[in-house]
Each structure stands twice: as C-alpha cells, then as structure tokens.
Amino acid sequence: MLCACSGEQFKFEDAPQSPESLATRDFSASGLSSRTGDWESKLDDVQVDEAESTLKEALSLNYEEARALLGRLEYQRGNFDAALQVFQGIDIKGLKPRMTGAIVERTRQRKLRSKGDIIPPSVLSLHSVSLLLEAILLKAKSLDELGHFRDAAKECNIILDVVEAAFPNGMHEGIAEDCKLQEMFHKALELLPRLWKKAGFLGEAITAYRRVLVKPWNLDPLRVASLQKDLAANLLYGGVESSLPPHLQVWGSANPNGNMEEAILLLLVLMQKVVYGEIKWDSDIMDHLIFALTVTGQFELLGSYVEQALPGIYERANSWYLLALCYAAAGQNEVALNLLKKVSGQSEAKHKPHIPALLFGAKLSSQDPKHAHYGITFARNVIDSAADDQVNEHFKSQAHKFLGVCYGNAARISISDAERSVFQKESLASLNCAAFNMKEDPDLIFNLSLENAVQRNLDVAFDNAMVYSNMVTEDSGRGWRLLALILSADRRFKDAETILEVALDEAGSLDQLELLRLRAVLQIAQERPKQAIETYRILLSLIKTQRESRSNNFESAKSSDSEGVTERVLELAAWQDLATVYTKFGSWLDAEICVNKAKSIELHSPKSWHTSGLLFEAQSLHKEALVSFSIALSIEPDYVPSIVSTAAVLLQLGSQSSLPIARSFLMNALRLDPTNHDAWMNLGLIAKLEGSLQQAADFFQAAYELKMSAPVEAFK
C-alpha cells in the first residue's frame, strides 16, 4: 500500500505543477474508473511507475483511503482546486471517532494485549489513520494555497483534536516506529499557528502555540525551541493580550501574569538551552530578550545574559558597550563607565574605534563633574575618529556637545584660576561648534544657556533659555527653572515670578513641586517671609498627598520610585529653607522644629547641620555653631557654605590669632566656588582688620558685583 508508512514517501511541500486534473476523471465507490488505462497513459514518464503502484494498491482501498491517495497526487501536481474536490468527499467528521479509537486501540494493544488477543477487523490500522491524517493535512495546505486561511486552520485543528483525544497526556515514545502518524501530527502542530496568523486571528495562533508546548509530543529539541521563539515573538509584538487559560497554566507558582511575563519566561528557557548547548546561539532570541527586559526595566538581569554570550558572538568593544547600556539603564553609571574605559584602553588601541561606546562614555561622564576629565578624553577620541568621515558627522557634533559640558564641569571643579579660565573658554567653543550643526537639539541649547549663565553672560543665556522653552513643549520644567534663575541673577525678581506662574500651569506634577520651591526662594529673596511660608505649606501638602496616593496604589508605587526620591529631596529642602527663614526673623523655636524635621528625613545631610549651625550662630552660640559646621564638613568636606560660615564665626570670636585660620577657610571656599560673594565679603573684613584697606576695598567690590549677579540658587 502507498500510504504514510511506505518506504517511498511523497514530498508534497515542493510538488511539480501540472494542468491535468485527476479529479475530473470518473471515480466510482470501488475506488477506480473503468478508464484507468486512458488516465495512466497521460501521465509523465517519470510518474508512470509511481502511478501504477498507486493504482494496484488502490484496488484494496476503501472509498476514503482511495480519495486520500488521489488527493495527494493532485496536490503534488499543484492542482489545489482539484485536490480540494477530492478531499471534500472524505467524511472526516464521521471518521474522527474511529480514528481516535484506532490510535488508542493499536497503541494500547501493543503493550497490554496477550499473544492470543485479536484486534477486531473493524478497527482501522495505524497505516490507514496516517493516510487519512495526511489527507486532512493536505486539504488544509490546499486551502492555504487558495487563500482560505481560516478554513485551513479549522481543518488542521481536526488533526490535533483526533490525536490529542487519543493521547490526552501527550504522545509516548515509539509511535514513529511503525507509521507516519507522528510525522503528520508534528507537521499539523507547526502549521496550525501559522494558518491562524495568516487568517488574522492572533489570539487563536497564540493558543495553538501554547497547545503545542504544554504537553510532550515527541518533537525534537530544535523544533520545540523554534516554536517557543515564535510564541515569544507573537506575545511581545502581536498587540493582543491573550490570558493563559487554566488548563494551560503549567508554570506552577511562577505562572506568568500577562503576555510580557510569559514571553520573558520562554526566552529565559531558550537562553538556558543555549548556555547548556542544547541549541545553537540564535541572535533573534537575544534581540527579543533585550526588547522584553528593556520594556520591563530588568536591566541588570539583561546584563547578566549579555555576559553569558560566548566569546566571538559579540566583538569585545560591542560587548562592553551593550553591558554598559544595561548597567547605565539600571542606574549603575560607575559600573558602566568602568566598562566603557576598556573600549578606549590599550587592549583596543589596534582596533577600529567603537564610536557609539566612546560617545556613550562621554555622555555618562558629562552627568557627573568628577568624571569630567574622562568625558573630555572620550569626546576627543570620537572627534579624532570621525575627523574625515562624513558618515559620522552626527557623532562628531554630539561629541562636541558632551565635550562642552565636560569642559564646563571641569572648570567648576578646577583648583587653578588659569585652568578654570581655559576650560570655560573651551566649553563655550565646543558647545557653539555643536550648535552650528545641531540647531534643533534642545538638550544642546539648554547646556549652552546653562554654561553662559554660569559664566554670567546673562543676556545670551536668557536668549538660549527662551529658545529651549519654545522648542520643548513637554517636560520643560528645567527650562522654566533656568529662565527664572537667569532673571533672578539680573535682579528681575518680579519677572522671574511671572515666569514661574506660567510654568506652574504647564508643568507636570513633579516639575510643579520644584517650581513651587523656587517661587518660595524668590519670595525669601524679596523679603516676603509670610508668602514664602505659605508657598512651602502648599508644597509640603502636595508632597504628602502624592505620597499617600502612591501608597494606596501598589502598581503606581512600584513604578515611581524615582518620583518618591525626588519628592523626598524636595521635602528635605523645604524644611531646611523654612528653618533658615525662621532663623533670619528670630523665631528660634519654629526654626528648631524645622531643623529637626529635616534631620529626621536625612540625618547625614550637610545642609541640615549647616542650617542648625546658622540657628546657633543667630543666637550667639558660637561654639555650638562651630560644632554643627564641623559635622557638616565631616559629611562633605567641600561643602562651601559651611566653610564660609566657619570662617565667619571665627571672625566673630574676635581673636587675632584666628584670622589666618579664617583666611585659610575662605581661600579654600573660593578655590571651590570663585563666585561666592559671602567668601569675598569675609575676606574683605579680614583685610580691613589687618589694615589692608585697599585690598579690603577690592574684596568688597568683588563681593558686591558677584552678589548683584548671583541667582537665588546655583545654576544647574
């Protein structure tokens, strides 16, 4: 018999095309027409032997099996309409129970029956079942070729229903020894989800994938891995949320909650197979995993899987770059920078520079002044590498932007006036060079405005800040804040408040809190303490309300940790500012309450101890003030306000021997912050006490000019 179990098997996937249709011939219930000779004579010479064998075997076939064979031949010839007509004559619905029963009986009897047991002749053989399953599969394929995808999927589903009813717990080993039943079933398992996708029913396709993977069907590991990858991809990108039905929830306590979690579980299983060598490395799996873990914010986990990639899969520089991206996204900038330093190290000197990694190193370095010099090196390497390359012109402009920011940061931490001056010039030069090619980059315009403001080029800074605010329609809180600070440095407090009023109507909830605090600081600068206190009250109430709202909403609390940190910082600053206000106007008890509130939020804040020292100083408790300032400096040795205040207290103590110590403190403060007008003022007092009147006058003049151009808060 030429059936699914025969030695010669047809390859119907790549069938030759023929216009001749066997289905148009007369076909009787006995299986053959009287015009067999005419039909056979028209076959191609290559198929004569095959057709003869088929016809001889067909003499012993029943009606359905004969149709299955002829339908197969039609499909092989590419006559999909004719094949479909032949297959339509098979009563699949009536045969389903017999096919299921035959599979159960034949596979059960093999193990359980005694030698004397006889299988009833009415039970189909596994060969017949295989032949009929192949007919159903070819019918589905014919419908697929004709564009009837939904009908094809329904036909293909019949195969799964028949076999799954026979093997409710999965297919045991050994089925493939006697017939093609398992092969037909496996092909149907793989075809069904593809048909549902073609038909546009993604939910049904996902269910079909799950149906394949939830039970053992004797699929080889590579086919299982392929199906797992396809399911993960459909769960990630399909756009249809398909919940896992109860009978398919086989993950136990780790049952996934939604498409994303299920996809990640599948991809992690696949990555484990890669690590153990069960399947080969597949870049698609890693790409899917990168997308999934990035969307869910699992960057450290992603980094661990990037590290598991075998040597040679990624180039060393690219591997370090990917890892740096993961750790930077997880907030571990120091780890990311250490990885990126390897890219510019000696080991890579002979290789082509990895420009994205170098540029990313420059970007990370620009975010922290202590890494400013590393950032300069990174940016310079990018500029040198892209000097004669028009393709990398964009990278070159970006490098100039980060170079300008790093030069500005380097100037602010420089201990040499000459070096500081050089860095400031280089900063503006680099930023202006970048702006020549990237006029539409809002981040660049903001940094250009900020650097001009720091260098007290207030008119240019204001113009750039206005351009930035017009460019950015959302998340423009920092632009409004910079504008207000620039106006305050120009002593235009009313205009600054007007800007903030407009900004408060447009800003998001988090930006509103920062802008409210800045408005209170402006009110303090104009000596309007009552209004400032009321603004702080509103600010603290909003922080409390938002915190309570998040605590009552678990999902919101889980996704907004950064917001909580920002709110905590603003709350701390509000209590510190209030303590300063009450101290200035002699409300010692209120000031002490506010200081204690601040310390309860963050005990190791240098500003809280500095504020406490100011309270003691205002009460003429100089020794206690010195203790508080000393604690602030023990927490942060370069905290300029406490350095200046320590010198001021030493001056108030009136000891001539303390003048050199006070001068040393003030010179250190000016090394850290040359624009600190309080330090210049106290230096003038020391010079006056020492009798150097001209020097004192110069110091007082510097203090006055700096104070007149000082913003109410530092530019940042």
Encode 411-456 in three state secondary structure.
HHHCCCHHHHHHHHHHHHHHHHHHHHHCCCCHHHHHHHHHHHHHCC
Q: Tokens standing for 16?
A: 């030759």
Look at residue 107 in the predicted model and tell me its pLDDT.
77
Write down the pLDDT at residue 14: 41
CB-count exposure of residue 252 (10 Å: 0-12, 13-18, 19+): exposed
Neighbours of 390 (CB within 10 A): 8
What is the C-alpha to C-alpha distance for residues 169 and 84, in angstroms, rounded to an integer? 33
pLDDT for 245 equals 67
Query: 466 with 483: CB under 8 angstroms?
Result: yes
Report CA-CA distances (Å) from 126 to 4, 6, 102, 103, 196.
9, 12, 7, 7, 29
- Token pair 């702006």 is found at 435
CA atoms 59, 65, 66, 69: torsion sign:
negative
Q: How confident is the model at residue 250 (pLDDT cuts 50, 70, 90)?
A: low
- Per-residue pLDDT tens over the stretch 161-178: 998 888 888 887 766 555
HEC letters along 4-42: CCCCCCCCHHHCCCCCCCHHHCCCCCCCCCCCHHHHHHC
Q: At what angle do helices 221-237 and 259-275 cross, to 10 degrees?
A: 150
Residue 47: per-residue pLDDT = 47
Residue 558: burial class (beta carbons within 10 Å; 0-12, 13-18, 19+): exposed
State how far the alpha carbon of 21 is from the alpha carbons of 48, 71, 141, 166, in Å: 16, 10, 17, 36
Tokens for 71? 């339908």
Angle 423-429-434 from CA coordinates, rounded to 5°: 125
| Amino acid 30: pLDDT | 35
Question: Higher pLDDT residue, 448 or 43?
Answer: 448
Highest mean pLDDT among 47-61, 283-297, 569-583, 655-669 belongs to 569-583
Residue 129 token pair: 């079942």
Predicted model pTM: 0.73
When comparing pLDDT for 595 and 48, which is higher?
595
Token duo for residue 556: 């919101």
C-alpha–C-alpha distance, residues 443 and 264, integer Å = 34
Q: What is the DSSP letter of 95?
A: H
pLDDT at 15: 41
Cβ-Cβ contacts under 8 Å for 625 (sequence gap 6 or more): 613, 614, 616, 617, 645, 649
Radius of gyration of the chain (CA): 40
> What percent of the chain has a predicted confidence (pLDDT) above 90?
48
How far apart are the C-alpha atoms of 342 and 293, rounded to whole Å?
25
Least confident window among 349-353, 380-384, 489-493, 686-690: 349-353
Largest CA distance in the chain: 134
DSSP symbols for 315-378 = -HHHHHHHHHHHHHHTT-HHHHHHHHHHHTSGGGTTSPP-HHHHHHHHHHHHTSGGGHHHHHHH
**Residue 252: band (very low, low, confident or very high) from pLDDT cuts 50, 70, 90:** low
Of 133, 67, 60, 49, residue with least CA distance to 98 = 133
Q: Is residue 628 pLDDT above 90, yes or no? A: yes
Alpha-carbon distance of 225 to 222, in angstroms, equals: 5
Instruction: Kindly report the average pLDDT of the chain as a whole number.
Output: 83
DSSP string, 283-313: HHHHHHHHHHHHHHT-HHHHHHHHHTSPTTS
Say which range, 240-244, 379-383, 623-627, 640-644, has the weakest mean pLDDT: 240-244
Distance between CA 251 and CA 488 in Å, rounded? 61
Element (H, E) at 614: helix 606-618
Report the candidate in 140, 105, 111, 112 with the shortest Cα–Cα distance to residue 126. 105
pLDDT tens, residue by residue, 432-475: 999 988 888 999 999 999 999 999 999 999 999 999 988 887 66
Amino acid 485: pLDDT: 94
Three-state SS at 486: helix
Among 303-312, 337-346, 460-469, name the most confident range: 460-469
Confirm if 144 and 118 have CB atoms less than 8 A apart: no
310 falls in which pLDDT band (50, 70, 90)?
A: low
Per-residue pLDDT, 60: 42
Beta strands in 587-666 (DSSP E): none
Pairwise pLDDT comparison (60 vs 70), residue with the higher score = 70
User: Helix, strand, coil proportions of the chain in percent (round to 5)?
Assistant: 75, 0, 25
d(C-alpha 659, C-alpha 665), whole Å: 10
Which two three-digit tokens encode residue 343? 């890219």
CA atoms of 559 and 197, how far apart (whole Å):
34
pLDDT of residue 177: 54
d(CA 321, CA 333): 13
- Contact by Cβ (8 Å): 300, 330: yes
Question: pLDDT tens across 110-153, in order?
Answer: 555 544 455 666 677 888 888 899 999 999 999 999 999 999 99
- Mean pLDDT for the stretch of residues 31-39: 37
Which of the listed ranges 117-131, 230-244, 530-544 does the model predict with the highest average pLDDT? Answer: 530-544
User: For residue 178, what pLDDT is reported?
Assistant: 54
Identify which of 712, 210, 233 has the alpha carbon closest to the alpha carbon of residue 486.
Answer: 712
Phi then psi dihedrals of residue 204, to 5 deg: -65, -35
Q: How many CA atoms lie within 13 A of 272 on its CB side?
A: 7
Residue 667 in tokens: 């010179």
Q: 338 pLDDT band (50/70/90 cuts)?
A: very high
Percent of the chain residues topping a pLDDT of 70: 84
What is the structure's pLDDT at 388? 64
In sequence order, what are the residues at sequence separation of 6 or more whose Cβ sits closer than 8 angstroms to the Cβ of residue 440?
A: 471
Question: Are residues 485 and 452 in contact, defined by beta-carbon separation less than 8 angstroms?
Answer: no
Instruction: Output the six-digit token pair for 707.
Output: 């104070």
Cα–Cα distance between 706 and 714 in angstroms, integer? 13
The pLDDT tens digits for 574-597 are: 999 999 999 998 899 999 999 999
